[in-house]
Amino acid sequence: MIRVEAGMSTARFCQLFDMPERTWRRWQAKARTGTAVKGPWP
């Protein structure tokens, strides 16, 4: 993972990409459960 390899905090990573930290944490929670993020699209 890019953030971990760079030794960057979650807050700094989100700030760099102008992303709300809550969004990042929500994506990470979904990734941990193994559910599909979106799709499949028809």
Is the pTM higher than 0.75?
Answer: no
Residue pLDDT, tens place only, 21-42: 999 899 888 888 877 667 777 7
pLDDT of residue 41: 77
3-state secondary structure of 36: coil
Could you tell me the pLDDT band of residue 8, with boundaries at 50, 70 and 90? confident
For the chain, domain boundaries: 2-33
Residue pLDDT, tens place only, 10-20: 888 889 889 99
pLDDT of residue 30: 85
pLDDT of residue 18: 92
- CA dihedral for 16, 7, 4, 22, sign (positive or negative): negative
